[in-house]
Amino acid sequence: MITSLQSNEIDIAIGLTEGWVAGLGKAQAESKIAGYKMVGTYVETPLCWAISAGANREDVKGVEELKGGKMGVSRIGSGSYVMGFVLADTHKWLSSPSTSSSSASAPFSIIPLQTFTRLREAVNDGIADFFMWEHFTSKRYYDNGEIKRIGEIYTPWPSWHIVARPEVIGDERMEEVLEKVNLGIKYFEEHQEEAVEYISTKLDYSAEDAREWMKTVKFAEDVRGVRGSVVQETVTVLKKAGVLGQEVGVEEMVGIRRKE
Domains 2-45+158-253 and 48-154 share a fold: yes
Residue 204 has pLDDT above 50, yes or no: yes
β-partners of residue 40 are 162, 224
Q: Any idea which architecture 2-45+158-253 has in CATH? A: 3-Layer(aba) Sandwich (3.40)
What is the arrangement of strands in the sheet containing 130-134, beginning at the earlier edge strand? 109-112, 70-73, 130-134, 48-54, 147-154
* Tens of pLDDT, residues 36-74: 999 999 999 999 999 999 999 988 888 988 988 999 999
Work out the average pLDDT over 235-250: 83
Residue 174 has pLDDT above 70, yes or no: yes
Cα 178 to Cα 8, 14, 162, distances in angstroms: 19, 11, 9
User: Within 10 Å of residue 229's Cβ, how many Cβ atoms?
Assistant: 12
Work out the average pLDDT over 192-216: 90
Q: Quick one: pLDDT at residue 105?
A: 63
Q: Quick one: pLDDT at residue 184?
A: 96
CB proximity list for 96: less than 8 A, separation 6 or greater: 104
Work out the average pLDDT over 159-165: 95
Q: Quick one: pLDDT at residue 104?
A: 55
Q: Which has the closest alpha carbon to 244: 47, 253, 155?
A: 253
Are 151 and 157 a contacting pair, CB within 8 Å?
A: no
The 8-class DSSP code of residue 107 comes to S
Q: Quick one: pLDDT at residue 29?
A: 86
Class of domain 48-154: alpha beta
Q: Quick one: pLDDT at residue 100?
A: 39
The 8-class DSSP code of residue 95 comes to P
* Tens of pLDDT, residues 8-31: 999 999 999 998 999 999 999 888
pTM (two decimals): 0.84
Domain boundaries, the chain: 2-45+158-253, 48-154
* Tens of pLDDT, residues 59-118: 888 898 898 899 999 988 888 988 888 898 888 887 655 433 444 567 889 999 999 999
Q: Which has the closest alpha carbon to 156: 221, 222, 245, 87?
A: 87
Q: Quick one: pLDDT at residue 79?
A: 85
Work out the average pLDDT over 186-192: 95
Q: Which has the closest alpha carbon to 78: 116, 46, 44?
A: 116
